[in-house]
Structure 1
Amino acid sequence: MKKRESFNSQWGFILACIGSAVGMGNIWMFPTRVSLYGGGSFLIPYCIFVILIGFTGVIGEMCLGRGTRSGPIDAFGTACETKGNRKLGEILGWIPVLGALAMAIGYTVVMGWILKYMVGTFTGSTLSAENIDGFTESFSTMASAGGNNLWQVLALCICVVILMFGVGSGIEKANKIMMPIFFVLFVILGIYVAFQPGSSAGYQYIFRIDPAALSDPNTWIFALGQAFFSLSVAGNGTLIYGSYLSDKEDIPASAARVGFFDTLAALLAALVIIPAMATTGAQLDQGGPGLLFIFLPHLIRSMPGGWLIAILFFTAVFLAGMTSLMNLYEAPVATVQEKTGLGRKASCAIIAGIGMIVSLLIQGIVSDWMDVLSIYICPLGAGLAGIMFFWVFGRSYVESQVNKGRETPFTKMFYPVCKYIYVPVCFLVLILGIALGGIG
């Protein structure tokens, strides 16, 4: 049997997991949610849910991957094999794998936009519009069917080239470079914004506690959605990264670091974007692509040294997006390797071909595409992974896996909390997403 690839170091793995978690949700959705749901009133439930999901789902998916040394299909199959029905598990395992591929395809479209804007900050085209209508028209043209083919294909090629180098020499090395640079750039931006007139109003808003917002069920529902999707529990990427781990790795400690740095990235984004909006008196009630590609470029254009701020900002956003894209494509790439016996480069080429064709076809409908995946497939994949690990494998197996690499046994509460709280929460996220049209 061919030896499975692995990460070369503990921090390489942690940075890769942080890279998978830090993405557009931290940058274009978290600041908006903080703004809409009462600043600190949103941060309280958000941190609660990050702790809950980080110490249950993230640990569980890492352990399931490491314990089975495989991707979702064989991991689910191995679990169901203990009950005499491996085939059922393998069939269910295709759900998170195909979900990861579909999410990666949609993300490829977004990364094409980001790459174009990042390059445009150096050439001047990103900030060239004269007013908000000009920025809106520019984005609408780019986001239309066939509107950004070249940059989209180039973004995919960058990702695939990194993946072709493998886990240790590709994914790990890229994250060791990209993640520290991302955090440094956002710290620089945060310091710059702090010295802008009027920014203090933004900080006051972020850290205020509004009792009315705290008692609003929507604050808790959307904080749950934000934490759930930000930590990338979906039964695919985190599970795959876990499968590359040594038995010496202390997974609960690694999960804690991932949760901390993911939350730090989201807070940094909020500490840049909300005070920046406050300098103009603007209300941050527009999330998603509109914030990133219309309103922020318009705002940055009016700031002193706006061209440099734009370069730093979109470079940081590109790095965060690329690390997430690598994670999303890794699950289907690893699956092709496992199921066909092909080498890594050939597997990457196959997945890249599918990704290129489909992503070019969905450019005009990518928003609806991503909504379907985030509402239905991601929480379903996370729930299925939770069922396989905590319900099917059972307590003895779970505790043996979570305690590998630890000097002291992990809390005995881990298993019941995961089985009876985390797994139902996955399906609660699914139900709330369907009812409310998405909470992630």
Structure 2
Amino acid sequence: MDGLLSFHRLPGYWYETGPAFVFSMAVNVQESKFQPTGGGKEMQEKVQESQILEPNTTLGVPPPKTLLLVKREGEGNPWHCLMEILSTYLTFDILRMPGGSFGEDSPLFKYPGDEDDTQVIILDDRDDGPYFDLWTLFARRKPVRLAELLSDQSISSNLDDVNLIVPLAGSSNPLWQDDAGNQQCTDSPVLDVFSRRVRDFYGIQDPPVRDGDKPIVLTFINRRDTRRLQNQRYLFSKLQKRNSHIKVQMIDFAAIPFSEQVRVARETDILVGVHGAGMTQSMFMHQRAGAVVEIQPDILDHNGFRNIAVMRGLGYYRTHAKRISPEEWREGEEEQEDMGEENSEGEDTQPKSENTPLKTTGRAKRGGTNREGRQINVEESGEIPEIVDSRIMKREGWHGSDVDIEESRFFEVVEAAIMFMYQKGPWKYDIN
């Protein structure tokens, strides 16, 4: 049929996700055949057999009318996980449009209503992860693993007419396309609606309107594994003393529930961090009322979070920092009155903490596929490929490095964001 992609041309995406991998893993499909009878042709379909429909179940509840088949890229990275949730939202938004069935005005998926008879089937064997509950956005029933469904023994005969939904892959959604370049989009209803949907799911309310005498809240994403900022405690302690209109907080997002991460982001005016998935939280900040500061490793030129900030109407400030080994990293100490000065011999007395560096996690060998389904093998060195214009480019060690930035450059970029906020919201401070 014109405009429809051939079933055998369904694409696969990286980390073995997307329709091609879902059907290969969970569904056995046999093509229809035409058999001539009498003076015409009648279509005689072979029975479509599915692995997920073979066994019976013992759930003791009516079988779902719709199954959402999900194979995830991972479970711990907020950017990857949220892109999958967004792609699934786009899938359901399309199915909810009128005229989904040929010759009919009714949608293929009715909301509200059909979500009560829909169940998410997880095909991968990964851990649930901190974002797992977001899958209940699309189905009221508790998500189950494929193995759980296969072990049930009571309702397989009632699943003959079940509807299957295979969502768009996470890396296929438009928000993730061409993130190596500077996008010119300054307003994204898709991103705005998605941000609101996630906040509504967790019941995140906007904080009360503040008076102009309240401080500007600056949140630093306190990474504790890789891409840590050298002497970060010293830098932010001194930043606080240099700027009386701000309140600095250092938050380890990985140590708190995702719902709390969203709340913190919503109450943040300036989000500061070294490049990483934690910067995804910028999509939950107040639209057109905040700023983002991104510190990238010296060899990286990535614009994904810049594009998010621009779409949300946030100020965006970027700088680069020298890579250092994890063994060189020190958290630093809070600034003292005599710190940051040069001694009589011209030597910098900025504190160098002698604390033992935090232990970093090992680099497990990983593999998968790129966005178009090409197989990727990652060496044990831990260098993870990045896809740019359909080419595989090694990250050359920035992924596991920490970073070190000169004190003056750090203050210059962060204080530019602070001054950006001087005439935002309730504040009306002079620049100088």
TM-score (norm 2): 0.23
More strand by share: 2
More helix by share: 1
